[in-house]
Amino acid sequence: MIAVDWGTSGFRAWRLGAGGRMLDSREAPRGILFVKDGRFAETLRAEIGAWLAAGERRVVMSGMIGSRQGWVEAPYLPCPAGLADLAMSLVRVPFGDADVRLVPGLTCADAAGVPEVMRGEETQVASMLGDGASTICLPGSHSKWVQAVGGRIMGFSTYFAGEMFAALRGATILGRMMTDGPTEFASFDLGVARSGEAGHLLHQLFGVRTLGLMGRLADTDSASYLSGLLIGHEVRAAMPADAEVDLIGAEALCTMYARAIASCGGRVGALNAGSAQRGLTMIGERVRWD
């Protein structure tokens, strides 16, 4: 079987043998944003053609390739949903002799009935669902906080902190003071602490400027402070009381989230126990192939 994680900016594929053993892998900067004129079939053939020629026929794909901007739109599956539900809901993509299928994204609604969506994260999360209840956080541009019970994703909530950070840094007066560099954890922690003080985020953001103006926040520390402020707001709003949170994501980002979770009274459980490769493998094992 071939597993493909095809997102907005990147493409990753694995050739899997018996028991999900990885035989080979590929990675390329060929996310759907970089595929011109809908040439998804050509792109896929260029990446995994050799494996198909060697006899592979089954391909499972997840990520933004199944979105409206992707190859074929795979409609969102409503929560609750687990591995079996995902495996039963794959969407076929015409592709020569191969049997290519897309994992659908998930949808749910928040307390006010506003829709939530994820695409790609469900596959990572599905790979680590246990029997009990768990809270899983996937930090990113649009962070996801997932509630799972008994092997199914019951619901989830999205936070805009990552893309907000980039926009505030790149397109506002707050970013003009910021220098590049590694995360300054002392300043990050000050930002997290600030998020717990009285006052709305929209007010506290202006403080990033005045603290700089008054010489109380160095230009080298300002980005880390802003990052802590935003992640702190997200964690305080999204994390259930006294929670243990499993984290899936890039190492540097998970380090920051783990720090904020601990500062806000939570505990970090598993770190990166879930992965797209493992989720695709587990979904593929449950598919009734032709």
Nearer to a copy of itself among residue 67 and residue 277 (C-beta): 67
Which are the contacts of 119, defined by CB distance < 8 A and separation ≥ 6? 62, 63, 64, 66, 67, 76, 105, 106
Nearer to a copy of itself among residue 137 and residue 211 (C-beta): 211
Residue 219 CB, shortest distance to a copy of itself, in Å, is 14
Q: Residues in the site for a copy of itself, rule: CB under 8 A? A: 68, 110-112, 114-117, 142, 157-161, 163-164, 166-168, 170-173, 194, 197-207, 210-211, 213-214, 216, 230, 233-234, 237-238
235 close to 261: Cβ distance less than 8 angstroms: yes
Residue 287 CB, shortest distance to a copy of itself, in Å, is 27
Residue 221 CB, shortest distance to a copy of itself, in Å, is 15
Report the b/e string of 117-146 with b at 16+ CB within 10 A.
Answer: ebbbbbbbbbbbbeeeebbbbbbbebbbbb
Residue 217 CB, shortest distance to a copy of itself, in Å, is 10
269 close to 246: Cβ distance less than 8 angstroms: yes
The full DSSP string for 183-228 is --HHHHHHHHHHHTSSS-HHHHHHHHHHHHHTTSS-TTTHHHHHHH
Nearer to a copy of itself among residue 167 and residue 250 (C-beta): 167
Nearer to a copy of itself among residue 59 and residue 239 (C-beta): 239
Residue 136 CB, shortest distance to a copy of itself, in Å, is 16
Nearer to a copy of itself among residue 57 and residue 236 (C-beta): 236
